[in-house]
């Protein structure tokens, strides 16, 4: 039997230190993630300096664990794939330096991976038969893109957010609710049992474009929260997440709109907006397949809505398993495999970059 092509993937762009071994771009041999979420939670968001320091402590043990769990050693690895951007530069540098060190020491090829190409590749881990071309809705903490995936390494961004990302829209309102960080999953929890039609929120549409804008929706939600707080005799500081205001008990939800209603309506507004644009983009580009990627794709309401609308529109739909929606290194190894197969190799002067275009 032919030896499978083994890629060691390394990811450290934000607050997860991750390493994984993937065979032939699709088969996960190991997937290790050391999350820093509990530490950053105390500050209400990721603190870059702390993230870098924690990556330094975790990176080598995480890589060792990924190799051990895969039952392999560096000698059997064909290439080392690593995220080099976009992300927090200090955080990216830790994974990148480790990958470069291992590549220099072993002579194994180094392949730099765009973080968003990694998120898109998470779909290849979900279905071994899924191939380009397809339309991918990429929704993370920093990106909201509609991407035509022409081929494994050929991307065309056909729409993007003009301000906040969908993940930020979730995180901001979760913070105003006093729910903590990361806000997306907590807001999803808070929405359970709520009426998604209880509160209406505006959606911004641009002429001749499927671009997104979440700032109007977010501001409308914050204004509605403030109005509810004023009616209940509370201060607006609470909505802004300021500590003095946060000490007040929240009494606004005893009125006609419950917290679950508000959260469900806000979530539905984001999800409808994303789903409508994703289906429209697939149709406009003549694509028969739709996929979703990035942290927000872990949201059940989004997955279910996309699945229903895709089916109604006659499109095949795929979403990554929950554990591969948020940051991980298996997706980086998968994307790295296709780059490696295409003959792409990076040298030791590959640098980390905070901003990096996909197409």
- Contact residues for ligand KG4, defined by CB under 6 A: 14, 140-142, 167, 170-171, 182-185, 188, 294-296, 298-299, 326-327
188 vs 327 by CB, closer to Zn ion: 327
Residue with tokens 């990216």: 92
Q: In this complex, which beta carbon is closest to ligand KG4, that of residue 162 or of residue 283?
A: 162
Cβ neighbours of 83 (radius 10 Å): 33
- State yes or no: residue 211 binds Zn ion (CB under 5 A): no
Q: Closest CB to ligand KG4 among 184 and 194?
A: 184
Q: What is the C-alpha to C-alpha distance for residues 230 and 236, in angstroms, rounded to an integer?
A: 7
Residue 72 CB, nearest distance to ligand KG4 (Å)? 27
Pick 140 or 224: Cβ nearer Zn ion: 140
Nearer to Zn ion, 46 or 79 (CB): 46
By the rule CB under 5 A, 11 interacts with Zn ion: no
Do 180 and 174 touch, CB atoms closer than 8 A? yes
Decide whether 111 or 142 has the Cβ nearer to Zn ion.
142
b/e map of 21-57 (b: 16 or more CB within 10 Å)? bbbebbebbbbbbbebeeebeeeeebbbebbbbbbbe
Q: Is 12 in the site for Zn ion (CB under 5 A)?
A: no
Q: What is the nearest approach in angstroms of ligand KG4 to the Cβ of residue 119? A: 6
In whole angstroms, the minimum distance from the beta carbon of 278 to Zn ion comes to 18
Place of tokens 């004023």: 230
Nearest to 297 by CA among 315, 311, 277, 318: 318
Among 10, 327, 332, 337, indicate the residue that binds Zn ion (CB under 5 A). Answer: 327
Residue 336 binding: pick among ligand KG4, Zn ion, none (C-beta 5-8 Å cut-off by kind)? none
Comparing CB distances to Zn ion, the nearer of 214 and 262 is: 214
Beta bridge partners of 59: none
Q: How far is the CB of 16 from ligand KG4 (least distance, A)?
A: 7
Smallest gap from Cβ 200 to ligand KG4, in A, equals 20
Nearer to ligand KG4, 35 or 72 (CB): 35
Residues in the chain: 359
Among Zn ion, ligand KG4, none, residue 299 binds (CB under 5-8 Å by kind): ligand KG4
Is 261 among the residues that bind Zn ion (CB under 5 A)?
Answer: no
Q: Which of residues 78-97 bind Zn ion (CB under 5 A)?
A: none
CB 224 within 8 A of CB 198: no
Q: How far is CA 334 from CA 21, 143, 242, 289, 359, in A?
A: 9, 20, 42, 20, 18
3-state helix, strand, coil in the chain (%, to 5): 45, 20, 35
Per partner kind, with CB cut-offs from 5 to 8 A, the member of Zn ion, ligand KG4, none near residue 103 is none
Under rule CB under 5 A, residue 267 binds Zn ion: no
Cβ 143 to ligand KG4, closest distance in Å?
7
Residue 184 site contact among Zn ion, ligand KG4, none (CB < 5 to 8 Å, cut-off depends on kind) = ligand KG4
168 near Zn ion, rule: CB under 5 A: no
Q: Which x/- pattern over 110-149 shows residues binding Zn ion (rule: CB under 5 A)? A: ------------------------------x---------
Type and span of the H or E element at 22? strand 16-23
- Does residue 143 sit in helix, strand or coil? coil
Q: Which is nearer to Zn ion, 191 or 325 (CB)?
A: 325
Is 15 an interacting residue with respect to Zn ion (CB under 5 A)?
no
C-alpha to C-alpha distances, 31 to 26, 86, 329, 330, nearest whole angstrom: 13, 21, 7, 6
Alpha carbons 59 and 307: distance in angstroms, whole number:
37
Backbone angles phi, psi at 299, to 5 degrees: -75, 120
Q: Identify the CA nearest to 96 among candidates 354, 326, 337.
A: 354
- Residues of this chain that bind Zn ion (CB under 5 A): 140, 327
């Amino acid at each position: 039997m032919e030896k499978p092509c083994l890629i060691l993937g390394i990811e450290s762009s934000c607050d997860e230190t991750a390493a994984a071994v993937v065979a032939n771009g699709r088969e996960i041999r190991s997937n290790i993630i050391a999350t820093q979420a509990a530490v950053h939670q105390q500050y209400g968001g990721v603190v870059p300096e702390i993230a870098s320091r924690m990556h330094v402590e975790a990176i080598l043990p995480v890589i060792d664990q990924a190799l051990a769990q895969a039952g392999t050693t560096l000698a059997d690895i064909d290439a080392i794939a690593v995220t080099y951007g976009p992300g927090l530069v200090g955080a990216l540098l830790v994974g990148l330096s480790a990958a470069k060190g291992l590549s220099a020491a072993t002579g194994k090829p180094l392949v730099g991976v765009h973080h968003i190409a990694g998120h898109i590749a998470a779909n290849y881990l979900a279905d071994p038969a899924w191939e380009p071309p397809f339309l991918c809705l990429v929704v993370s903490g920093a990106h909201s893109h509609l991407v035509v995936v022409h081929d494994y390494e050929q991307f065309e961004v056909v729409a993007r957010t003009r301000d906040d990302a969908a993940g930020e829209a979730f995180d901001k309102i979760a913070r105003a609710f006093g729910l903590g960080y990361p806000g997306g999953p907590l807001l999803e929890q808070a929405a359970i049992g709520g009426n998604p039609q209880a509160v209406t929120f505006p959606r911004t549409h641009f002429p001749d474009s499927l671009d997104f804008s979440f700032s109007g929706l977010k501001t409308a939600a914050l204004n509605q929260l403030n109005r509810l707080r004023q009616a209940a005799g509370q201060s607006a500081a609470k909505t802004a997440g300021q500590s003095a205001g946060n000490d007040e008990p929240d009494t606004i939800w005893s009125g006609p709109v419950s917290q679950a209603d508000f959260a469900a309506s806000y979530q539905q507004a984001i999800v409808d907006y994303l789903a409508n644009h994703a289906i429209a983009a697939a149709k406009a580009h003549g694509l028969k397949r739709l996929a979703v990627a990035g942290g927000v794709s872990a949201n059940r309401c989004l997955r279910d809505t996309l699945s229903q609308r895709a089916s109604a529109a006659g499109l095949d739909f795929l979403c990554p398993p929950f554990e591969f929606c948020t940051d991980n290194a298996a997706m980086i190894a998968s994307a790295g495999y296709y780059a490696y197969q295409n003959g792409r190799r990076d040298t030791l002067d590959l640098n980390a970059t905070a901003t990096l275009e996909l197409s």
